Amino acid sequence: MVSVRLAATFGFEALYMTGFGTVASHLGLPDAGLATYSDMVGRVKQMASMAQAPLIADGDTGYGGLLNVRHTVRGYEEAGASAIQLEDQEFPKKCGHTPGRRVIAMEDMVRKIRVAVEARASPDFLIIARTDARTALGLDEALRRADAYARAGADILFVESPESVEEMRTICERFDVPLVANMVEKGRTPVLSREDLEALGYRIAIFPVSALLAAVKAMHAMYAHIREHGSSKGAPVELEDFSALTRLMGFEDVWEFEKRHAE
């Protein structure tokens, strides 16, 4: 939630609730199908209430079969998300830039997309269909699946982990619907500039672990310094002002409330 509060101050057009980052920060676990619908829908509600921008929320595989997908879509929409991302991995799913991912039959995912479209209360709640077929089955199969998911009613397509700029260009040339580019530093896909992504034809770019990677690197350096020296004094890490952090977290509202209601 610190991350959501901070990101909301920059005026982004949308914010993205990453499954990897949410499971890591909320549960301290790997993004490997361990988080449940109940774990995640509560985070969606909290984040959406703080986001101040449309929130795209990772819904993994829908947490089960078709009935679970319906329940997940309805729950995420009611929690305040503006879009849900659903993927065609087998359960338990894995992070999209890690090895060993397997996908369900294309026809099964088509049914999930149709149920998701049917389940939403408003057409403004968008369905993002993600395919993880590229890594195990090749780009042609990933494109074939994305075509089918678009025909099933997905509003946005997410072809996960293309491995070159040429593959990214091929994806963008194939589809007229909005496409998601997943920018994971040191992952399987090249990280490109905004200008290059737009030139290729991407409409949405997510940076799901950029701030998390930066924060973990800084925390590692700080903890190592404290362990070695017994103090944070002299640590090689640039720190935010504590007063700025208190303002970010909303303490000014608390102080004003206490003034108004002081005995």
Of the chain, the end-to-end C-alpha distance in Å amounts to 32
pLDDT score recorded for residue 262 = 83
Distance in angstroms (rounded) separating the CA atoms of residues 249 and 2: 7
Closest CA to 59 of 80, 36, 78: 36
**How many other C-beta atoms lie within 10 A of the C-beta of residue 17?**
25
> Please, which residues bridge with residue 157 across strands?
129, 179
Distance in angstroms (rounded) separating the CA atoms of residues 179 and 129: 10
pLDDT score recorded for residue 210 = 96
Q: Mean pLDDT over residues 95-103, rounded?
A: 72
- Asked whether residue 98 carries a pLDDT value surpassing 70, the answer given is no
Residue ranges and CATH numbers for the domains of the chain are 2-209 (3.20.20.60), 216-260 (no CATH)
| The three-state (H, E, C) secondary structure of 53-102, written as one string | CCEEEECCCCCCCHHHHHHHHHHHHHHCCCEEEEECECCCCCCCCCCCCC
Mean pLDDT, rounded, of the chain? 94
- Asked whether residue 96 carries a pLDDT value surpassing 60, the answer given is no
- Asked whether residue 263 carries a pLDDT value surpassing 70, the answer given is no
pLDDT score recorded for residue 180 = 98
User: Phi, psi at residue 215, to the nearest 5°?
Assistant: -65, -45
pLDDT tens for 76-93 read 999 999 999 999 998 777
Q: Mean pLDDT over residues 171-195, rounded?
A: 96
Structural tokens at position 7: 């990101």
Distance in angstroms (rounded) separating the CA atoms of residues 155 and 248: 34
Listed in sequence order, the residues at least 6 apart from 88 whose beta carbon sits closer than 8 Å to its beta carbon are: 61, 103, 104, 106, 108, 109, 112, 129, 130, 131, 132, 133, 145, 149
pLDDT score recorded for residue 99 = 66
- Asked whether residue 163 carries a pLDDT value surpassing 80, the answer given is yes
pLDDT tens for 19-36 read 999 999 999 999 888 889
Q: Mean pLDDT over residues 40-45, rounded?
A: 96
Q: Mean pLDDT over residues 107-125, rounded?
A: 98
- Asked whether residue 154 carries a pLDDT value surpassing 60, the answer given is yes
| DSSP state for residue 226 in the 8-state scheme | H
- Asked whether residue 200 carries a pLDDT value surpassing 70, the answer given is yes
pLDDT score recorded for residue 32 = 83
pLDDT score recorded for residue 101 = 80
